[in-house]
Amino acid sequence: MNIQMSCDYYATSLPNAFIDNYMDKANPVFTLVYIYGLRKCMSGSGDLTTSELAARLNILETDVVNAWKYWEQQELIKINAPESG
């Protein structure tokens, strides 16, 4: 069988430490949010709203928020609240 795939040649590196120490303990939905967020960050397009991410992954916005809070508790991300003026 001959299979051809068209792919994006850019890659998102997922650290082995994440796989070994975090992925197996996390809710699978939280892992999806982290990986997609990592991809957006590494591509330089880090601006992504909770609703956009939820729509992209076909999950609830509350799951996205809970995922970010979880990863912040694990000290893998830092949530920066928008400044109010």
pLDDT at position 59: 97
Taking the whole predicted model, whether its pTM rises above 0.75 is answered as yes
pLDDT of residue 83: 58
pLDDT in tens, the chain (85 residues): 544 444 555 678 889 999 999 999 999 999 999 999 888 887 776 677 889 999 999 999 999 999 999 999 999 988 876 655 5
Neighbours of 32 (CB within 10 A): 19
Q: Within 13 Å and on the Cβ side, how many CA atoms surround 33? A: 30
CA 11 to chain centre: 14
Alpha-carbon span 8 to 18, nearest angstrom: 23
pLDDT for 2 equals: 46
- Tell me, what amino acid is at 68? W
Which H or E element spans position 35? Answer: helix 28-42
